């Protein structure tokens, strides 16, 4: 039996280019929060399920101007930058990173601070309709695991990346991996911890290989991360050509 029934109009994707609406339908949800089926008014069980849910107070009736939508998917969000959202927009990328963002992200070495920020961050994503997010974390293992844990606790489908930045020429001493070796070891430990969390939940939580961008990583780190991606069959995220500086740096370094 359905634990909850929603009655009204919902929208869903028909394919990559089309969206379709379904009016006066029933959306049936089980105790785990999973949609088990949807019923149109022409379905033989429609009236019985609608009446039973209404009598047993398991029915949510959408108003004429209310619609049910699929959860939004955020394909790129920096979780540790939540405290400066909408702020610190006055500098070009390389100056912005060093003046505002690297100092902020370095604070996530404090796991209590990470829990405080990420608890609110995940809540805000969900409250605005985002149910899946591809996220950058920081270089800190414990903080990134906390981001995954908060996602599981609050019900967010999470793809979490432990940032790698080991290039001493382009990253500050106070916020960088000590070496490519330590960066790769920390990344693999993070992967194993997220896999362990994933075994304990029905929600999707996936570790993501995350070289921050070309300037932040040595060749050794990039090569090692690619090997981890293949070994564990994981997605990879990074940045590409965010600014003239980054674009020019990559061309100069790799000659392409």
- Give the domain ranges of the chain: 4-68, 72-254
* CATH label, 72-254, candidates 3.40.50.300, 3.20.20.140, 3.40.228.10, 3.20.10.10: 3.20.20.140
Beta partners for 211?
164
Q: What is the pLDDT of residue 170?
A: 94
Q: Are the folds of 4-68 and 72-254 the same?
A: no
Scan for tokens 């009016």, then name that residue. 23
Fold designation for 4-68: Urease, subunit C; domain 1 (2.30.40)
pLDDT for residue 241 = 83
Residue 33: how many other CB atoms lie within 10 Å: 11
Token pair of 114, please?
Answer: 């990470």
pLDDT of 33 reads 83
* Structure confidence at residue 79 (pLDDT): 98
Q: Report pLDDT for 86.
A: 87
Contact 181, 199 (CB under 8 A): no
Q: Are 243 and 94 in contact (CB under 8 A)?
A: yes
Task: Retrieve residue 28's tokens.
Answer: 């049936």
**Six token digits for residue 15:** 């394919």
Residues in contact with 197: Cβ distance below 8 Å, sequence separation at least 6, in sequence order = 145, 148, 149, 152, 205
CB 165, CB 176: distance < 8 Å: yes
Query: How many CA atoms does the CB half-sphere of 79 hold within 13 Å?
Result: 36
Q: According to the model, what pLDDT value does residue 218 have?
A: 97
> Could you tell me which of 187, 169, 166 has the C-alpha nearest to residue 178?
166
Q: Which residues of the chain have pLDDT under 50?
A: none
Q: Which residue has the tokens 């927009």?
A: 89
Provide the pLDDT for residue 255: 85
Strand ranges inside the chain, DSSP E: 4-13, 19-29, 35-39, 59-61, 67-68, 72-78, 130-136, 157-164, 205-211
What pLDDT does 220 receive?
98
* Residue found by looking up tokens 């362990």 in the block: 196
Q: What is the pLDDT of residue 32?
A: 81
Residue 211 phi, psi dihedral angles, 5° rounding: -70, 125
């Amino acid at each position: 039996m359905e634990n909850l029934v929603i009655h009204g109009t919902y929208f869903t994707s028909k394919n990559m280019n089309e969206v379709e609406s379904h009016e006066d339908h029933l959306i049936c949800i089980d105790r785990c929060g999973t949609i088990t089926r949807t019923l149109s008014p022409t379905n033989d069980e429609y009236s019985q399920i609608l009446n039973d849910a209404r009598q047993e107070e398991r029915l949510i009736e959408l108003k004429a101007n209310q619609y049910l939508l699929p959860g939004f998917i955020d394909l790129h969000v920096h979780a540790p930058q939540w405290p400066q959202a909408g702020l610190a927009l006055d500098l070009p990328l390389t100056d912005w990173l060093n003046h505002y963002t690297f100092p902020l992200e370095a604070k996530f070495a404090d796991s209590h601070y990470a829990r405080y920020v990420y608890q609110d961050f995940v809540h805000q994503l969900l409250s605005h309709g985002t149910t899946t997010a591809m996220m950058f974390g920081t270089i800190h293992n414990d903080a990134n695991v906390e981001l995954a844990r908060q996602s599981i606790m609050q019900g967010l489908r999470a793809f979490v990346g432990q940032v790698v930045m080991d290039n001493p020429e382009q990253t500050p001493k106070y916020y960088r991996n000590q070496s490519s070796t330590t960066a790769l070891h920390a990344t693999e430990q993070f992967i194993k911890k997220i896999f362990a969390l994933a075994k304990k939940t029905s929600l999707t939580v996936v570790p993501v290989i995350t070289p921050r961008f070309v300037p932040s990583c040595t060749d050794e780190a990039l090569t090692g991360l690619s090997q981890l991606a293949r070994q564990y069959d994981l997605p990879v995220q990074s940045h590409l050509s965010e600014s003239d500086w980054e674009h020019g740096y990559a061309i100069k370094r790799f000659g392409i």
